[in-house]
Amino acid sequence: MLAKTESYTSIEIKELGQVQLRKTTTITDSGSVISTSHHREVRNPGSNVSDLPSNVSASIAGYWTTEVLNNWDTFISSSLSDVSAS
């Protein structure tokens, strides 16, 4: 019998507070793994994480302190100013 399982197998915190997630999808047939694939995504500080499993979103929320969010806002504002000045 085929079965599909998905789980987040890696959560990486980047320098500016972005969170890179790796979701692993495993297909098994009668308990034997026949396929494994990975999908990566990045969430920026302050973005919605409510669609993620509660343990993953709680980990992210614990890292995204007010300081991290403020630093991200400053980075984005600075980046937009640089683009506008060009």
pTM: 0.81
Let me know how long the chain is.
Answer: 86
Please compute the mean of the pLDDT values over residues 4-17 and round it to a whole number.
Answer: 96
Domain positions in the chain: 2-85
Would you state the pLDDT for residue 81? 75
Classify burial at 22, counting beta carbons within 10 Å of its beta carbon; exposed 0-12, middle 13-18, buried 19 or more. middle
Would you state the pLDDT for residue 80? 82
The angle formed by the CA atoms of residues 80, 83 and 86, to the nearest 5 degrees, is: 150
Name the band, by pLDDT with cuts 50, 70 and 90, for residue 52.
Answer: very high
Half-sphere exposure of 81 (CA within 13 A, CB side): 6
Would you state the pLDDT for residue 63? 95
Please compute the mean of the pLDDT values over residues 44-69 and round it to a whole number.
Answer: 96
Calpha distance 70→76 (Å, rounded): 10
Name the band, by pLDDT with cuts 50, 70 and 90, for residue 84.
Answer: low
